[in-house]
Structure 1
């Protein structure tokens, strides 16, 4: 089961445009200097129930100002078995552009038979662990200079 840390219904910090950000619990990277170490626990926050999923999708569909949805955490890829169906459902039911933050490198995700299929539903991946020595507050949408913004799909009309 996924656990939800929080949602931010409208933010400009987690990707291009106005985004609905979903923060999921669980992270195995334990990056020194992480801004949210409480998110590492896979049981932090509240269980992501069917009722909560329906509410989230309704909020996304009901906001015509949104440019997309962002998944962050923790690390959404921490629990790929449960994240996959949720990710797919958000994409299919909202039609929104999807950004996803992960501490995994893209190349490692491609090699992972559980995680690689999830990339199909993601437009933009921000990959790589946070590296305290590479922290740069001037970067857009990243915390450290080693992290990459990877456009997995061409921007699409919604």
Structure 2
């Protein structure tokens, strides 16, 4: 069975993308942004393993959900496992939002990121920059981060 190393799951969130979302906080991040609101997710040895199908089951059991959000940590450090989850959620007619510290441009150059990027509807890209922090931004923590409609660019 496919498993993802996670720091935790928020079963219903309205601040991590449009609508009501189940948020999967992946474990492991190389970015180590100063001021990160999830520093406990940085270690690649922390968290716990969960089967992808167990997450899908949680999604199926909540008819209020508009989709899932993959956050972190850094979801693209587990791109294969997260893409499997995303594909299964999309097959249910739900959307996928993915947060990453990488920029969209960096991701386009990395073949191992491609499948998860293709399964993502909305990408929030860029490292959190504490010098550009703003509490006025929707779904983002700093002004350098962008909300990208992936399908608009990748078709």
TM-score (norm 1): 0.88
Aligned to 1:2: 4
> Aligned partners of 1:113, 1:95: CA distance in 2, in Å?
26
Runs of 4+ in 1 over 4 A off after TM superposition: none
Aligned to 1:42: 44
Aligned to 2:78: 79
* Displacement after TM superposition at 1:61 (Å): 1.3
* Displacement after TM superposition at 1:150 (Å): 0.4
Q: How many residues align?
A: 150
Which structure 2 residues correspond to residues 1-158 of structure 1 after superposition, within 5 A? 2-49=4-51, 53-92=52-91, 94-153=92-151
> Aligned partners of 2:8, 2:143: CA distance in 1, in Å?
26
> Aligned partners of 1:151, 1:17: CA distance in 2, in Å?
16
> Aligned partners of 1:81, 1:12: CA distance in 2, in Å?
26
Q: Deviations over 1:47-104 (max 9, x none)?
A: 123xxx3232112112121111111010100122333323323333x32111000000
> Aligned partners of 2:21, 2:80: CA distance in 1, in Å?
24
* Displacement after TM superposition at 1:30 (Å): 0.9
Structure 2 unaligned runs (5+)? none
* Displacement after TM superposition at 1:152 (Å): 1.3
What RMSD over aligned residues (CA atoms) do the two structures have, in Å?
A: 1.5
* Displacement after TM superposition at 1:43 (Å): 2.3
